[in-house]
């Protein structure tokens, strides 16, 4: 993992980079795209959860008593930004099956590029939880910033964003609006085009995940 700037980390693991290349390819179909997004999310989750606190427990093995470690009481919630964030959820739940899942429904108005909120539902004990927001694309940063504005009303313990591809413009916006949020991504691309799409990016993540256009 490489530190791009304060609180912004890029995953350089070969498996993540390889799979990211496959999803960028315009010839990758819906089924493979979906599977790869889930796999990348799972690999990223392994690193993002590296600092979860452990506590010691005693268990009986068939041969004797062992002092071992388990993850201690800290609670997590994952919060996909609809729709495209949904593609990352199962990857995280495979590693953290007890995590609660909130949802934030936002779409980007194609003219103004501003996020429009249409649904929000978070676990009721958000104030006790570490939050990992999921969205494959951080473009202008408007959607992620609005999502964190919303979540912060409930005073969570900590906030992280996991995305696949970030634009420098989105990183700039999010680190200014929410300097306390840790951002994890698999790549920082070149720029945004005139329509607010990440270049070279992977196109429209939601459409590629769900086969819409
Ligand atoms: C995409 C993406 C992010 C947002 C990023 O969602 O999944 O949520 O755009 O753009 P921003 O950083 O400029 O806000 P989109 O609005 O296309 O909705 P969808 O996931 O429902 O397709
Ligand atoms: N949303 C996407 O799905 N892709 C982009 O490149 C930008 C926003």
Average confidence (pLDDT) over 90-106? 96
Summarize the confidence of residues 127-136 as an average pLDDT. Answer: 97
Question: Residue 155: its pLDDT value, please?
Answer: 97
Q: How confident is the model over 135-186, as pLDDT tens digits?
A: 999 999 999 999 999 999 999 999 999 999 999 999 999 999 999 999 999 9
Question: Which of the ligands is closest to the CA of residue 206?
Answer: 1
**Among the atoms of ligand 1, which is closest to the Cα of residue 84?**
20
What is the 35 CA–ligand 1 centroid distance (Å)?
20
Nearest ligand 1 atom to the CA of 113 is 13
Residue 72, pLDDT > 90, answer no
* For range 116-127, the mean pLDDT: 95
108 is an active site residue: yes
Dist. CA 63 → ligand 1 center (Å): 53
Say which residues have a Cβ less than 8 Å from residue 116's Cβ, sequence separation at least 6.
106, 107, 108, 109
Q: Which of 112, 125, 153, 212 is catalytic?
A: 112
Model pTM greater than 0.90?
yes
Domain annotation for the chain: domains and CATH numbers: 2-210 (3.40.50.2020)
């Amino acid at each position: 993992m490489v530190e791009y700037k304060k609180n912004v980390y890029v995953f350089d693991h070969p498996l993540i980079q390889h799979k990211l290349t496959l999803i960028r390819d315009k010839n990758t179909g819906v089924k493979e795209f979906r599977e790869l997004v889930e796999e990348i999310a799972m690999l990223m989750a392994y690193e993002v959860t590296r600092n979860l606190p452990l506590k010691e427990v005693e268990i009986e093995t068939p041969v004797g008593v062992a002092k071992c470690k388990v993850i201690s009481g800290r609670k997590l919630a994952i919060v996909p930004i609809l729709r495209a964030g949904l593609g990352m959820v199962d990857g995280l739940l495979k590693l953290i099956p007890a995590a609660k899942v909130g949802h934030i429904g936002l779409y980007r108005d194609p003219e103004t590029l501003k996020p429009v909120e249409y649904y929000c539902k978070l676990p009721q004990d958000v104030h006790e939880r570490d939050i990992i927001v999921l969205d494959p694309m951080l473009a202008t940063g408007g959607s992620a910033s609005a999502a964190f504005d919303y979540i912060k009303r409930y005073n969570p313990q900590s906030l992280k964003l996991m995305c696949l591809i970030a634009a420098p413009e989105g990183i700039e916006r999010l680190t200014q609006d929410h300097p306390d949020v840790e951002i994890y991504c698999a790549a920082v691309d070149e720029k945004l085009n005139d329509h607010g799409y990440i270049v070279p990016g992977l196109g429209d993540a939601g459409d590629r995940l769900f086969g819409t256009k």
